[in-house]
C-alpha cells in the first residue's frame, strides 16, 4: 500500500468514526444544515483531525473564512465574481463551524471554553453579516433607500432568533430538561420547509450578489420567512418555558 493509499484509508476511517459520533439534530432542523453542511463539515473535521487541529483552532479557521466573506460584501463592488467568492467563503466558514464540534467529539468531548468561543463567533457573524449587506447595498447596489430597511430588519430577526435558541437550551439545561439537540429526529418535509431559515440559504443567496435587484428579491423573501418563523417560534418557546417553569 502506498503512502497516498494509507492516507486515504486513514481519512476514510476517521470519517467513519465521525459518522458514529454525530450528535442528534433538532426535530425538523433545516435541510441544508443536516444534509449538506454537516456532511461537508464531516470531511473538514476528518482533515482537521488528521492535521492535529484542536476544536478551537477549527473554530478560528471557520471565523477566518466567514469574516473575510463578510468584509468583502461590505467593501468590494457587487459583481458576479465577488458574489461567487463571498458565497464560497461563507459556505466554507459554515462547514468549518460544523467541523469544530465534530472534532471535539472525536477527541472525547468539548470544553466549556470551546463552546463559549463557538457561540461567540456565531453571534458575531449572524449580526455582522446583514450589516455588511446593508453597507454593500448602500455603496454598490444602486437601490432605493427603502430597500436598506431589509438587511437592518434581517439583522434584528437573525440575532433574536439565535439568542432565543441559545436561551432555550440554557434554561432547559439548568432545569434538567433535554436540550433541542438531544431530541433527534424529524421529517424530511419539515426540514425542507425550514430551509429558508438556514444560515446556509443566506450564504448561497450571495451567488446573486452581482445582480442587486434580483439579490434583494430573494434576500427579502428569506427575510419574510424568517420573520414568520420567529413569530411562530416565540409563541412555541414561551409555552415551553411555562411548562418547564
First to last CA, the chain: 60
| Residue 135 within any structural domain of the chain | yes
Q: What is the pLDDT of residue 6?
A: 46
| Residue 157 within any structural domain of the chain | yes
| Residue 169 within any structural domain of the chain | yes
| Residue 87 within any structural domain of the chain | yes
| Residue 8 within any structural domain of the chain | no
pLDDT digits (tens, 9 = 90+) for 81-127: 999 999 999 999 999 999 998 898 888 777 899 999 999 999 999 99
Dump the DSSP string for 100-130. Answer: HHHHHHHTT---HHHHHHHHHHHHHHHHHHH
| Residue 6 within any structural domain of the chain | no
In the predicted model, what is the mean pLDDT of residues 203-218? 97
Answer yes or no: is pLDDT of 187 > 60: yes
Q: What is the pLDDT of residue 237?
A: 94
CATH code assigned at 237: 1.20.120.1760
In the predicted model, what is the mean pLDDT of residues 134-157? 95
Calculate helix-pair angle for 80-106, 3-20, nearest 10 degrees: 80
| Residue 49 within any structural domain of the chain | yes
Domain count, the chain: 1
| Residue 2 within any structural domain of the chain | no
CB 209 within 8 Å of CB 78: yes
Which has more pLDDT, 25 or 140?
140
Amino acid at each position: 500500500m502506498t503512502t497516498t493509499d494509507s492516507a486515504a484509508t486513514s481519512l476514510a476511517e476517521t470519517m467513519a468514526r465521525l459518522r458514529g459520533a454525530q450528535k442528534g439534530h433538532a426535530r425538523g432542523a433545516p435541510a441544508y444544515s443536516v444534509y449538506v453542511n454537516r456532511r461537508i463539515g464531516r470531511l473538514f473535521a476528518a482533515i482537521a483531525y488528521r492535521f492535529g487541529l484542536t476544536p478551537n483552532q477549527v473554530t478560528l479557521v471557520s471565523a477566518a473564512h466567514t469574516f473575510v466573506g463578510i468584509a468583502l460584501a461590505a467593501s468590494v463592488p457587487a459583481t458576479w465574481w465577488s458574489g461567487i467568492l463571498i458565497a464560497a467563503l461563507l459556505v466554507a466558514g459554515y462547514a468549518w463551524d460544523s467541523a469544530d464540534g465534530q472534532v471535539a467529539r472525536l477527541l472525547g468531548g468539548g470544553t466549556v471554553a470551546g463552546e463559549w468561543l463557538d457561540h461567540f463567533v456565531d453571534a458575531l457573524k449572524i449580526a455582522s453579516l446583514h450589516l455588511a449587506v446593508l453597507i454593500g447595498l448602500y455603496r454598490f447596489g444602486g437601490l432605493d433607500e427603502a430597500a436598506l430597511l431589509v438587511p437592518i430588519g434581517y439583522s434584528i430577526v437573525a440575532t433574536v432568533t439565535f439568542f432565543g435558541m441559545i436561551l432555550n437550551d440554557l434554561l432547559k439545561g439548568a432545569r434538567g430538561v433535554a436540550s433541542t439537540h438531544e431530541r433527534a429526529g424529524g421529517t424530511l418535509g419539515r426540514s425542507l420547509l425550514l430551509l429558508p431559515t438556514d444560515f446556509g440559504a443566506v450564504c448561497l443567496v450571495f451567488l446573486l450578489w452581482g445582480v442587486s435587484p434580483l439579490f434583494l428579491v430573494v434576500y427579502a423573501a428569506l427575510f419574510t420567512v424568517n420573520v414568520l418563523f420567529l413569530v411562530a417560534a416565540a409563541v412555541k418557546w414561551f409555552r415551553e418555558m411555562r411548562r418547564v417553569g
